[in-house]
Structure 1
């Protein structure tokens, strides 16, 4: 069964998001999505908020048939890097660290590392050398 999940979203806990976590979930549901990953910039405050409100589960299961995945978007020295499926300890302290180091940390915590806009020079695109 396919799932439609947006893996790159921001709430008002992020510097560039305007929606509350509840409004973001409602909007995603309204668009027919089955889930979202909250990837606010350099903070996991929305994740803590949603766990406290019981709108998200620590075991990764959906709440009311809607999945909210933990995540964070870290501003590395080379650009932005998404962490999806887990949170990282003290994300603000990772800001400005090398992308490969942050990528390794994401993997150590069981998360998926994704460069969110790899070729967009205006939004901190990141490109790993091959």
Structure 2
């Protein structure tokens, strides 16, 4: 079975989003997605909020047939880098390769979210 999941979203817990985590989930469901990762900038506050509300689980299982993955968008010294599926310490300003290594050591997936935008937040590897 194929899953359609948005791996790059922002809530009002970060400067780039205006929606609540619940509104992000509702919008994703309305679009027919099976899940999303909330990847706020340098904070996991939305993840902690959803865990407290019972709207996501850390064991990777969906809640009410909708999967919410833990994530964060780290502002590295070299640009932005998504971390999906792993808890991280505060890493803002660290080198991107070091952040990638930490993400992988913790079992997460590292994704450059702006691969073609080298003027703002893209990373050259």
- How far is the alpha carbon of 1:122 from its aligned partner? 4.3
Q: How many Å separate the matches in 1 of 2:56 and 2:120?
A: 29
* TM-score using structure 1 length: 0.93
Q: Is the 8 A contact 1:39 1:82 kept in 2?
A: yes
Which one of 99, 102, 116 corresponds to residue 119 of structure 1?
116
Q: Is the 8 A contact 1:69 1:86 kept in 2?
A: no
**Which 5+ residue runs of structure 2 have no aligned equivalent?**
none
Aligned to 1:79: 79
- How far is the alpha carbon of 1:119 from its aligned partner? 1.4
**Which 5+ residue runs of structure 1 have no aligned equivalent?**
none
RMSD of equivalent CA atoms: 0.9
- How far is the alpha carbon of 1:121 from its aligned partner? 2.9
Aligned to 2:98: 101
* TM-score using structure 2 length: 0.97
Q: How many Å separate the matches in 1 of 2:124 and 2:47?
A: 28
Q: Is the 8 A contact 2:118 2:124 kept in 1?
A: no
Q: Is the 8 A contact 1:73 1:82 kept in 2?
A: yes
